[in-house]
Amino acid sequence: MNAEIRYSIILEHNAEVLLANASMAQVEAFWDANDSRYFGLRMEDPCGAHVRVMVTDEMPEEETAL
């Protein structure tokens, strides 16, 4: 059985679910539409059947200096 990996995008500081049970194509579309609003995309358990993708809405210090 080859199940498709599903993803949830979660805002790190308050655990708000921004996108739930999504395909990789949906994650990519979300990121393309919101890449200036959210930062620090980090996948937890990237080998699992359901991957939690953690993001933040706080700009990293190294990007604010530019």
pLDDT for residue 45: 84
Contacts of 56 (CB under 8 A, 6+ apart): 11, 12, 13, 38, 39, 40
Per the CB < 8 A criterion, the answer to whether 51 and 35 are in contact is no
Beta-strand relationship, 50-56 and 6-11:
parallel
Does position 1 have pLDDT exceeding 60, yes or no?
Answer: no
pTM above 0.95, yes or no: no
In a domain, residue 19? The reply is yes
In a domain, residue 1? The reply is no
Residue-number span of the structural domain to which 44 is assigned: 6-64
pLDDT tens digit sequence for 21-60: 999 999 999 999 999 999 988 999 888 899 999 999 998 7
In a domain, residue 58? The reply is yes
Count: domains in the chain: 1
